[in-house]
Every structure is written in structure tokens, then in C-alpha cells.
Amino acid sequence: MSRLSAQVRTELQLVARNGEQLLLTLGIPVMLLVFFSLVDVLPTGTDDPIDFLAPGVLALAVMSTAMVSLGIGTGFERAYQVLKRLGATPLGRGNLIAAKIVAVVAVELAQFAVLVPIAVVLGWSPPSPNWLLAAVAVVVGTVAFAGIGLTMAGRLRGEVNLAAQNGLYLVLLLLGGMIIPFDELPAPLRTFARVLPSGALADVLRDALADAGSRPGTSWIVLAAWAVVTPPVARALFRFEGHR
């Protein structure tokens, strides 16, 4: 078995055994999708709430995995000296990062394999979805969110990182246009929300899958900017040794 394969296997084992991460990456998106599709209380502005919710929840799933799950997991690995110990093996940083990317993509595929059929069962039937464009959006969004998650994981102490990642997740969930439309936010907050990566990813996914983005051009620029800026920031700030 190659070193990369060994590391990927370990990364996936850890995700599969971590109940909190499964709740975050799969449980919460499924619950939000099902609940708000069946209980029509959100001002989605669509005939059927699932038309607004499905792309938004897919964006939420990407954020959950690429930012929060990756960030919390990496933060604890740093705090428990796992990264330091791996640094004294022949694995190498390149293979470690590659393994994490493979694990994130694998989890995202699993999320989509669960969420898309559930959305379809709940009545989601976009007329001409552009899945290729959606895949590009997911890749760019993954890079952007991973950069944010790893920046925090590489700098903050383990427990502080945990709290910060969860707090940011909640803020981006509420402000991000994922389950609440931008237009329902107060004007100053709306402007702020539109430059967040969460809102941008939800908007470009909505545009790609249902041709219903509010400002897809701007959202693509915002999302790409986050994807360009955050990985170098993470690289510059990341410290492999950490403390609990």
C-alpha cells in the first residue's frame, strides 16, 4: 500500500468513526433540507421551498466538510501533536495534504449521493441543471472554505478552534443565502452577506442547477477571490505544532 493510500484510509476511517463530524456533514444538512421543505416557514420566494433549499443545502454541505469538518479535525490533530509526529515519517506534507483533499472530496461525493436523491424525493426537479458548472463551483468553494478552515486550525488552540469553527459555521449558515434569501436580510447585512463565500457558493449553485441565481456573475467573482486568497493565507499562517 502506498503512503498516500495509507493516509487516505486513515483519514476516511477517522471521519466515519467521528459521530460529531457525521452529524455536521450529513445529519444537519439532511435535517434542514427535509424539515424546511416539509414545513413551509422560510421566506424562500419560490413556489416550492425545495427549489430554493436544495442548492443552498448542497452549498452548506460543502462548507460543513471543507471548512468545519476539515478545520476541526486538523486543529485537533495539530493540538494532539499528530501532525508533528507524522512530520517524522516518510509521508511528507504533500502526501498529507493530498490525502486530506481526497478525503474531503470523498465525503462531499457521499453527501451529494445522499442529499440529491432526498431533494428529488421531496420534489426537486430543476429543468436543465448544469452539473458540470455546479461541480466547478463545488471545487472552487471547497478550496475557499478549506483555506478558511485550515487558517483557523493552523493558528488557534484546539478547543478555541472548535468553538470558532462552529461559531463561524452558524454565522455563515444564517447570513449566507443558504436557507435564508439575501433579500430577507436588512440592507447593510445583505451587502456584507453577499461578499461571504457561503452566499456566493449558494448563489452560483442555484444559478448552475436551477438558473435562479440572484447575481451569479458577482458571486463567481466573490467565490473565486476567496479561493485565491485563503489557501496562501493558510499556508503562511499554519503552524504544524500546536497546543490543547
Partner 1 sequence: MSAVVVDGLTVRYGDLVAVHEVSFRAEHGEVTAVLGPNGAGKTSTIEVCEGYRRASAGSVRVLGMVPADHQRQLSERMGVMLQEGGVYPSARVRDAVRHYCDLYGRGVDPDALVGAVGLAERSSTTWRRLSGGEKQRLSLALALACRPDVAFLDEPTSGVDVLGRDTIRAIVRDLAAGGCAVVLATHELDEAERLADRVVIFDRGEVIADGTLDELRHGHDEIRFRSAPGLDLESLATATGLTASAVGPDEYLVRAAADPQVVSRLSGWLGDHGHPLTDLRAGAQRLEDVFRRLTAAAADGSRSDSTGDGDGSGAAGSDADEASR
Q: Which residues bind partner 1 (CB under 8 A)?
A: 1, 3, 5-7, 9-10, 13-14, 17-18, 76-77, 79-82, 84-92, 241
Looking at beta carbons only, is 16 or 121 nearer to partner 1? 16
- Rounded-to-integer distance, Cα 55 and Cα 230, Å: 23
What 8-state DSSP symbol labels residue 178?
S
- Residues whose CB is less than 8 angstroms from the CB of residue 207 and which lie 6 or more positions away in sequence, other chains included: 133, 213, 216, 219
User: Least CB distance from residue 164 to partner 1, whole Å?
Assistant: 19
What 8-state DSSP symbol labels residue 234?
H
Looking at beta carbons only, is 65 or 230 nearer to partner 1? 65
Three cell numbers written together for 202: 449558494
- Rounded-to-integer distance, Cα 21 and Cα 24, Å: 5
Looking at beta carbons only, is 18 or 214 nearer to partner 1? 18
Rounded to the nearest 10 degrees, how much is the dihedral formed by the CA atoms of 97, 101, 104, 109?
-160
Dihedral sign (CA 124, 126, 127, 131): negative
Write the CA distances from 187 to 183, 184, 193, integer angstroms: 8, 9, 10
User: Least CB distance from residue 68 to partner 1, whole Å?
Assistant: 17
Looking at beta carbons only, is 157 or 215 nearer to partner 1? 157
User: Least CB distance from residue 15 to partner 1, whole Å?
Assistant: 10
User: Least CB distance from residue 72 to partner 1, whole Å?
Assistant: 12
Looking at beta carbons only, is 91 or 105 nearer to partner 1? 91
User: Least CB distance from residue 158 to partner 1, whole Å?
Assistant: 10
User: Least CB distance from residue 9 to partner 1, whole Å?
Assistant: 8
Looking at beta carbons only, is 149 or 158 nearer to partner 1? 158
